[in-house]
Amino acid sequence: MTQVDIDLSNLKMAADGDKELERELFEEFIESSTELLSVLKKNAQIDNKNNHETWQKNAHALKGISSNLGAYTLADLCKQAQELLPDSLDTKTALLDKIQKEHESVVAYLNVQKN
């Protein structure tokens, strides 16, 4: 498995040793982040104001839940995505690829942790 930049200490402290709660939080992250990533993919290649606003909104939301989880590299990539200018289609595509790869690594890590 690829090395993942993730710090679950805050989540584990909040769960106070409740492994079932940890698993639920992991599942919630996986579900929510996958939905947000899907919207980013749909909006990555469309060059209009509404789609760019949707891109920014979803990048911001994914940044927030990634940061809350402790997936700081993913959160940083999403921050970069959120700050892109509307006409940055090539940059969006390249950044989306990085976000997808990091997301896959985080999800794989969480799937191992919840078992």
Could you report the per-residue pLDDT of 62-111, keeping only the tens digit for each?
999 999 999 999 999 999 999 988 777 888 889 999 999 999 999 999 99
Instruction: Give the chain's length.
Output: 115
CA 101 from centre of chain: 10
Yes or no: say if 106 and 74 are a contact pair by the CB < 8 Å rule: yes
Fold of 19-113: Four Helix Bundle (Hemerythrin (Met), subunit A) (1.20.120)
| Residue 11, token pair as written in the block | 């989540």
Distance CA 30, CA 18 (A): 19
d(C-alpha 88, C-alpha 4), whole Å: 27
Q: Please give the mean pLDDT across all residues of the chain.
A: 91
Sequence ranges of the domains in the chain:
19-113
Q: pLDDT tens digits for 14-53?
A: 899 899 999 999 999 999 999 999 999 988 877 667 788 8
Nearest to 83 by CA among 67, 95, 73: 95
**Residue 2's pLDDT band (boundaries 50, 70, 90)?**
low
Q: How many other C-beta atoms are found inside a 10 Å radius of the C-beta of residue 96?
A: 20
Q: Which of 7-11, 54-58, 84-88 has the lowest mean pLDDT?
A: 84-88
Residue 17 Ramachandran class (φ > 0 left, ψ -120 to 50 alpha, else beta): left
- According to DSSP, residue 48 is labeled S
